[in-house]
Structures are given as C-alpha cells and as structure tokens.
C-alpha cells in the first residue's frame, strides 16, 4: 500500500482496506482499523473522531509493515498487534498460543455457575484466557491452569502478572501432573481432525500452534484421552469442553462412559453445538 508522512487517516485506512481485501481476508475493514489504530497508538474510535489525525513519522513504517504481514503473510491481526480482547480482559498473545475466540467465552459462562469456593482447572490454558477470566469474574474460586507447552505457560503467566489476577500455573500433559484436588475442569482442547487441514484458513494453518489445533484422525484423540483420565477422579464432578462442529454425539458418549449422568450442549452464535457440560 502507498502511505507517506502526512497521509490523512481516512486515506490511509482506505488504502489498507483495499490491500487486505485484495489478499482475500474476510474482515478487511475491521483488520485495517485495528492495524491503523495500533500503528498510531490510538483507539479505533479516535480514527473517526479526530478529523486532523494523520499518519506521521514511525507510524508510516509500522502501518506498511502491519499491512504487509496481514495481506502477504496472512498473519492474524492479534499476532501483529500483540493483543486480543477476551471477556473483560486485554490479553497479550503471540504465535506461542492459540488466539482466544469468542466462542470460547462459553466455557467461562458455563463455569460461572460453579459453587462458591470451588477449585477449577483450565486445562490447555494457552494465553490463560479462560483461567484469567474466571479469576477476574469469580474471585471466590480457586483457579488452576495447565498446559503441555512451557512456551504457552510463559505467555499465560505474564498475562496473569500484568493483570494482577491469581492463578496457579502447572506444566502438565493432560491430568498427569495435576494433583487430585480439583472439583471442576474446563478446557478448549485440540479438536481439529487431520483430514480437515485443507479446510483451515491460512491465518490458522500458517501461524497458530499446531499442537493446540490437531487431535488425531477424527479430532477426538485428546478429548478421549482426557475423559479417560477424568473417569478415575471421583472428586472431579464438573467438566466443560469446547468441541468441533459435529462432535457433540461422540463427546456425549465419552462423557457418559466416564461416569457423567447429566450432559448439556451449549450452542455458539453460529448455532453450532460448541461446548459440552457434564456433571455427576
């Protein structure tokens, strides 16, 4: 895109939208607004409220590079800006962690019903989004969070420290190194089938961590292994899992085999059965 010092914000915005749309990105206007605001160090609202705002100095290079990364590399906006909003929180994110999605907020909503003082584990915490949201909205809970990736835990720990929220962080492969002290478990585990690789957007396939996405031939390998471990933990009486489209029947069967008599399906805004909640 063509942008120079002194370019009016409206002109710079239109140029960024054109470049991003031409690359086939699905939300070019939103992407351009976020990248321009980031380059200028202002809010999105100021782009429209300040008629005299121009792209100047270092912001010229920042905007050019941001648009190049988005349009040419198809890098997600959240990785370019280094942040992503989730519930009431602003989380730092990078390529070490999966970008938090709006549908994952259903996990938080499901866990808000937990009794006062419950001990809840966010398994596969990534950026710490679910754990930190629970610590923020339900400070009476004892919140734990685990991940197999030490790099992801570094990101999550930094988010927790910056936000001043209390979470106990654990390095663990599923429940292997988690003490038998938790009452509830929430998780957005890997659930993409290897056969779906070609269906993934370039933003996901090229940039997000593979181990946080894929779970065997049918996408159920991690969920099945986790629920097999959960079956042997009688104290753990509440489980909420994010799942892929079309997996609800299989996951409900696995939950019932693990000893859960009550299973509920929560739909996301697209009408997809996205979160399974099991209680015993």
Could you report the per-residue pLDDT of 112-157, keeping only the tens digit for each? 999 999 999 999 999 999 999 999 999 999 999 999 999 999 999 9
Share of the chain above pLDDT 90, in %: 94
pLDDT of 4: 74
First to last CA, the chain: 57
- Asked if residue 80 belongs to a domain, the reply is no
Same domain, 138 and 42: no
- Asked if residue 78 belongs to a domain, the reply is no
Same domain, 124 and 248: yes
Q: Provide long-range contacts, Cβ within 8 A and 24+ apart, for 57-60.
A: 57/5, 60/3, 60/4, 60/5, 60/7
Q: Report the alpha-carbon distance of residue 240 to residue 90 in Å, rounded.
A: 23
CATH number at residue 45: 1.10.8
Final residue before a domain boundary, out of 73, 95, 115: 73
Q: Does residue 269 carry a pLDDT above 90?
A: yes
CATH number at residue 143: 3.40.50.150
Final residue before a domain boundary, out of 73, 103, 119: 73
- Asked if residue 119 belongs to a domain, the reply is yes
Summarize pLDDT for 16-25 with one digit per residue, the tens: 999 999 999 9
Which residue segment(s) compose the domain that 117 sits in? 87-279
- Asked if residue 111 belongs to a domain, the reply is yes
- Asked if residue 181 belongs to a domain, the reply is yes
Same domain, 58 and 104: no
Summarize pLDDT for 247-256 with one digit per residue, the tens: 999 999 999 9
- Asked if residue 242 belongs to a domain, the reply is yes
Same domain, 190 and 237: yes
Q: How many structural domains comprise the chain?
A: 2
Same domain, 68 and 102: no
Range in 47-56, 115-124, 188-197, 231-240 the model is least confident about: 47-56
- Asked if residue 61 belongs to a domain, the reply is yes
- Closest by CA to 141, choosing from 155, 122, 160, 128, is 122
Same domain, 208 and 149: yes
Q: Find where tokens 């429209």 sit.
A: 48
Q: Report the alpha-carbon distance of residue 80 to residue 92 in Å, rounded.
A: 11
Same domain, 34 and 148: no
Same domain, 155 and 266: yes
Same domain, 197 and 232: yes
Final residue before a domain boundary, out of 47, 73, 99: 73
Half-sphere exposure of 215 (CA within 13 A, CB side): 19
Same domain, 144 and 261: yes
Q: What is the pTM of this model?
A: 0.93
- Asked if residue 79 belongs to a domain, the reply is no
Same domain, 122 and 52: no
Same domain, 41 and 180: no
């Amino acid at each position: 895109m063509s942008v120079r010092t002194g370019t009016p914000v409206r002109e710079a915005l239109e140029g960024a939208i054109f470049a991003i749309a031409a690359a086939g990105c699905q939300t070019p206007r939103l992407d351009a607004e976020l990248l321009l605001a980031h380059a200028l160090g202002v809010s999105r609202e100021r782009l429209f409220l300040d008629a005299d705002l121009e792209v100047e100095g270092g912001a010229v290079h920042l905007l050019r590079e941001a648009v190049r990364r988005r349009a040419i590399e198809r890098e997600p906006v959240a990785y370019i800006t280094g942040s992503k909003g989730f519930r009431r929180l602003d989380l730092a994110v990078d390529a070490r962690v999966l970008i938090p999605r709006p549908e994952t907020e259903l996990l938080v909503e499901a866990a808000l019903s937990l009794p006062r003082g419950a001990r809840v584990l966010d398994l596969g915490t990534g950026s710490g989004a679910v754990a930190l949201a629970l610590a923020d909205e339900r400070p009476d809970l004892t919140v734990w969070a685990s991940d197999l990736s030490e790099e992801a835990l570094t990101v999550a720990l930094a988010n927790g420290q910056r936000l001043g929220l209390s979470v106990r962080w654990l390095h663990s492969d599923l429940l292997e190194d988690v003490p038998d002290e938790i009452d509830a478990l929430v998780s957005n585990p890997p659930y993409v089938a290897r056969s779906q690789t070609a269906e993934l957007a370039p933003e996901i396939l090229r940039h997000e961590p593979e181990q946080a996405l894929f779970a065997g031939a049918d996408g159920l390998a991690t969920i099945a292994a986790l629920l097999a471990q959960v079956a042997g933990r009688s104290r753990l009486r509440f489980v909420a899992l994010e799942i892929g489209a079309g997996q609800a029947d299989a996951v409900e069967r696995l939950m019932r085999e693990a000893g859960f008599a009550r299973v509920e399906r929560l739909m996301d805004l697209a009408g997809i059965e996205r979160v399974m909640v099991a209680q015993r």
